[in-house]
Structure 1
Amino acid sequence: MEDTRWTKFKLCGDYNVDMRSLYMAWSTPAGLEKWFLRKADFFTVPQRLRGNEEQISKEDTYTWYWHGYHNDVTQKGRILEANGHDRIKFTFTGDSIVTINLSTRNGLTIIELEQSNIPPEDDPEKNLFVQCKAGWTFYLTNLKSVIEGGRDLRNKRVDLPSCFK
């Protein structure tokens, strides 16, 4: 029997905001740039750059730029699903897949983030399971802070080294 403990993880968070606002934070360049990315470029199938407030769609491709890094450090991938309401799925680092599911419970909007298809890695310093789980934990916390009216916790300075580099 194959050991799959290191090939996927799930994180959950509760947010005191309506589901539509949370979906828009994940599904538009402007939304993602408020809490996650320095710049989020999404391209339609004919390679048209989506507008800042325009929602992503299935089969879009993306190029993401991170705070604290120069433009030569990017994340590229593809949108596998975006239903316009409560589910987004995209490719991520190492051909893994991130799925975002939104629901409501007890007056709160719940995010369930699952990253799956994480490739095995012998070198612990390159372990995507650990690196991505730590990264997503921070970004889900930052999303909560930003969307509930708090502060943006990201390091936005390229000249200030991060302990994660």
Structure 2
Amino acid sequence: MEEQSKKDWSRFTVNIPIDISPEKIKEAWSTPKTLETWFLRLAEFTTPSGEKRKREEKFKPGDSYRWQWYGWPDSVEEHGKILKPESGEFLRFKFGKAGDVGVSVVEEHGQTILRLIQENIPQDEESRMNFYVGCKTGWTFYLLNLKSLLMGGTDLRNKKSNLQMD
């Protein structure tokens, strides 16, 4: 009997096919203002010298961020740092304690695909649930929301502050 390979809980990939130009996909990830249209309630970026980026200003590697989401209280926020993208990526960031996230747009079989890889996820049981399962579920939703909006659809986020997600 063959030995089953062990599950790799340190990384996951989410692929979303989107019939739109790679430039429009990348633009949605480029400024605090564009991130707030599909992903975040609040996106703030600070330069390495301590200056807060303007809402329409593109953030860059070395910047730090503060993020908040709809459906969650102000006390739930993420802090991290924008990293230098690796080969093929247009964005890479340290996602708090949950690891590193790399985002790319690839063409496969004539289809434009938005690909997100989260890696270096801590390997304790709590991290497996919170970061592997929780983040993969969250990213799947937010990438589908981005696709919906880019394709002319509805914003799927819960924006009613009295309907909390926790």
* Aligned equivalents of 1:34, 1:57: Cα separation in 2: 19
Output one character per residue of 1:7-29: Cα deviation in whole Å (capped at 9) or x when no partner. Answer: 10011111122111111111211
- Tell me if the contact between 1:7 and 1:118 (Cα under 8 Å) persists in the aligned partners: yes
Give 3-state SS (helix, strand or coil) of 1:127's partner: helix
Compared with structure 1, are the counterparts of its residues 141 and 95 closer, same or farther at alpha carbon in structure 2 (3 Å cutoff)?
closer
Q: Which residue of structure 2 lines up, in the alignment, with residue 76 of structure 1?
A: 79
Q: Which residue of structure 1 lines up, in the alignment, with residue 106 of structure 2?
A: 103
| 1:113 equivalent in alignment to 2:124 | no
Output one character per residue of 1:100-141: Cα deviation in whole Å (capped at 9) or x when no partner. Answer: 011345665321100000112324894310001100111111
Q: For 1:161, which of 152, 159, 164 is the aligned residue? A: 164
* Aligned equivalents of 2:53, 2:24: Cα separation in 1: 19
Q: Any unmatched runs of 5+ in structure 2?
A: 1-5
- Tell me if the contact between 1:42 and 1:50 (Cα under 8 Å) persists in the aligned partners: yes
Q: Which residue of structure 1 lines up, in the alignment, with residue 47 of structure 2?
A: 44
- Tell me if the contact between 1:89 and 1:100 (Cα under 8 Å) persists in the aligned partners: yes
* Aligned equivalents of 2:127, 2:76: Cα separation in 1: 21
Q: Matched residue pairs, number?
A: 161
Compared with structure 1, are the counterparts of its residues 82 and 89 closer, same or farther at alpha carbon in structure 2 (3 Å cutoff)?
same
Give 3-state SS (helix, strand or coil) of 1:26's partner: coil
Give 3-state SS (helix, strand or coil) of 2:78's partner: strand
Compared with structure 1, are the counterparts of its residues 53 and 108 closer, same or farther at alpha carbon in structure 2 (3 Å cutoff)?
farther
Percentage of pairs with the same residue: 38
* Aligned equivalents of 2:109, 2:33: Cα separation in 1: 28
* Aligned equivalents of 1:17, 1:40: Cα separation in 2: 24
Of residues 116-125 and 130-139 in structure 1, the stretch that sits farther from structure 2 once superposed is 116-125
* Aligned equivalents of 2:68, 2:14: Cα separation in 1: 23
Output one character per residue of 1:47-67: Cα deviation in whole Å (capped at 9) or x when no partner. Answer: 111111211111010000111
Q: Partner amino acid for 2:28?
A: A
Compared with structure 1, are the counterparts of its residues 149 and 95 closer, same or farther at alpha carbon in structure 2 (3 Å cutoff)?
same
Give 3-state SS (helix, strand or coil) of 1:12's partner: strand
* Aligned equivalents of 1:62, 1:119: Cα separation in 2: 21
Give 3-state SS (helix, strand or coil) of 1:27's partner: coil
Give 3-state SS (helix, strand or coil) of 2:135's partner: helix
